[in-house]
Structure 1
């Protein structure tokens, strides 16, 4: 959905956030088909990706992937699990407290890094194997957000996530 004009009522609603979010976990995918590596801090490169991630030199539209912490228990329940570790979803950042869907098409900051939400991060067929039969559908609509890095810098666990 395109952003409505900022001076409209809907535009004002799109710009309202109840509070800042917070980075809960950071994971890197060093190579294809290898386990994620959890880190406390990572460097984000302008126009690229995260240092140590297999997509670090990518096109930029998918420089960082984020998933909503509040969705993990729902995905777990829908796929028949008591809980699911963040690394299972192969997203870089687990974020809580701010609705990621509302950051699509917007600029936002995580610590010193400026990002722009580019697209939904839909689940892939690997989720069927990771979560079991029906895992792909259990995750639909809750796969998170892809973002472009506009200004690089460090991202740390516990950094605030703030819409601009």
Structure 2
């Protein structure tokens, strides 16, 4: 399975707007350098989050919305990859080794910022929480490959 990065997003703090970046430094046990959760949380599931482009596009179409990928507050937007199959599996983005930990379900806070429809419309479709096992850099040209 191979996926392509569509966007890399970080926010300086929980209330900041997610910003697109062309590349990012990922550090094991810390997260994405410059992101709101970087080295601030001892919970590995907060190191990095991913969401599928196709799931966001489908949600927008189904509910007649125009939400941006950044509105979903995930770090990596990926295309052509079924993220649900990566729970408890190791995978690479570029040279960075990650492990899928759990699905990243939509929450009330996200629904308040976007649409209440997100709670049911993206159940089991809102992305993946992962931890970083090996440091490295990623860019928009990086591919996701299952190890």
State whether TM-score is above 0.5: yes
Is 1:149 paired with 2:132? yes
Partners of 2:106 and 2:118 within 8 A in 1: no
What is residue 135 of structure 1 aligned with on the other side?
118
1:130 Cα deviation after fit: 2.9
Instruction: Classify 1:133/1:99 alpha carbon distance in 2 versus 1 (closer, same or farther; 3 Å).
Output: closer
Name segments (4+ residues, structure 1) moved above 6 Å.
none
Q: Is the 8 A contact 1:79 1:131 kept in 2?
A: no
Other-structure match for 1:124: 107
Per the alignment, residue 93 of structure 2 pairs with 110
How many residues of Structure 1 are paired with residues of Structure 2 in the alignment? 145
Q: CA deviation at 1:141?
A: 1.6
- What TM-score, normalized by structure 2, do the two folds share? 0.92
Change in CA separation of 1:78 and 1:131 when aligned onto 2, cut-off 3 Å = farther
Give the root-mean-square deviation of aligned CA atoms.
1.3
Q: What are the equivalent positions in structure 2 for 1:44-59 lying under 5 Å apart?
A: 44-57=26-39, 58-59=41-42
Aligned twin of 1:14: none
Q: Which runs of no fewer than 5 residues in structure 2 stay unpaired? A: none
Partner of 2:110, secondary structure, is helix
Q: 1:61 aligns with which of 30, 45, 53?
A: 45
Q: Secondary structure at the match of 2:8?
A: strand
Query: Larger radius of gyration, structure 1 or 2?
Result: 1
CA distance in 1, matches of 2:115, 2:14: 20
Matching residue of 2:74: 91
**Which structure is richer in relative contact order (CA contacts within 8 A, separation 6 or more)?**
2
